[in-house]
Amino acid sequence: MRVEARPSDLVGGTPLIDLSSLVPNHNATLLGKMESLEPCSSVKDRLGKSMIDQAEKDGLLIPGKSVLVEATSGNTGIALAFIARERGYRCILTMPETMSVERRMMLLALGGEVVLTPKETMVHGALAKANEILQESGEKGPETWRDTDGTIDIFVAGVGTGGTVTGVSQYIKGCTEFDCPPLMPELYTVAVEPQEQMLITEARGGTKIGPQGPHRIQGIGAGLVPEVLDIDLLDEVVAVHSSKAEEMTLKLWMMGLPTGVSSGAIVEAAVQVCSRPENKDKIAVCIIPSFGERYFTHPMFAQTKTKAEALTKQPLPEPFDNTEFGFATSRG
């Protein structure tokens, strides 16, 4: 039997699902990596486990004494909180006030301490608060290669911390720094960012599209180009507008895949890339980073929320004898 000893041992090993029906004329094969099926429903579970495992290995953490402090937009903090709870660490998370109530509730329910920062300062403010508190006080690459039998041509991922798109590309394209031999140097790596905040595009010398400012794609586009992101590994950056990300997210829900809005942005970008004539019959893998239930207070679900709240109870049929249905007594 395969029986794991603790929740964090369940991290990794997520399946692929065929999303090729979204690609017009099935021009290419599009596969979604279901990171929404991680123990705490997010790709960041891998990051949280990796960080804590390494810190424990290096002797930097002492259960019952050490305190973890993290600036987060939500999912990384949730990953750290769940593993901190499992292993006996205090966990303090700073995050912008604009993040969903569901994320706050997850953090609190897992024993984390949440410190909100002003929305105007975005993630920069959360980082500053985390530093103030400090002063006061993954394996997706091998799995993706294995599960596609080494036939992957295109890899598409959003950029939050930058770890996913960088790590997978390093593993498949090759990276001498981490002793990764080149498995497929020609892998086409696509990073996804909000159209309203095209900082990675700008960093690569590209041109921004339309007005720049706040966006509605929680989980990517944190208002900075993360240090972890290796821009040289990127073959392309696709910018997706919040409205397009929301449309694709709802389409995924209608397919029976409850995902977050960042998943919608990534799949939208992947569909665009897969639809190109030069990519006919190629195989693309895109990351589905998180589960959708964490986003019910997002504006795209406002209509659904209103509809749910407007539901009224309906009258029952005329009295009948419940004993006909196997109950011990008739209906009173």
Which residues are known to be catalytic? 44, 262
Instruction: Please provide residue 156's backbone torsions phi and psi, each rounded to the nearest 5 degrees.
Output: -125, 125
310 CB-near residues (< 8 Å, 6+ apart) = none
Determine contact, residues 92/69, Cβ cutoff 8 Å.
yes
Determine contact, residues 103/95, Cβ cutoff 8 Å.
yes
Instruction: Please provide residue 241's backbone torsions phi and psi, each rounded to the nearest 5 degrees.
Output: -70, 150
> 140-147 and 163-173 helices cross at what angle (nearest 10)?
60
**d(C-alpha 217, C-alpha 264), whole Å:** 9
Distance of CA 106 to the CA centre of its chain: 15
Which alpha helices (H) appear in 137-218, and where do they start and end? 140-147, 163-173, 199-203
- Hey, which residues does 191 pair with through a beta bridge? 157, 237
Strands (E), 58-105: 67-71, 90-96
**d(C-alpha 149, C-alpha 158), whole Å:** 23
Amino acid, single-letter form, for residue 263: S
**d(C-alpha 140, C-alpha 220), whole Å:** 18
Tell me the chain's radius of gyration from C-alpha atoms.
22
Amino acid, single-letter form, for residue 69: V
Q: What's the order of all strands across the beta sheet hosting 113-117? A: 67-71, 90-96, 113-117
DSSP annotation of 67: E
How far is CA 289 from each of CA 33, 46, 47, rounded to the nearest angstrom? 8, 11, 12
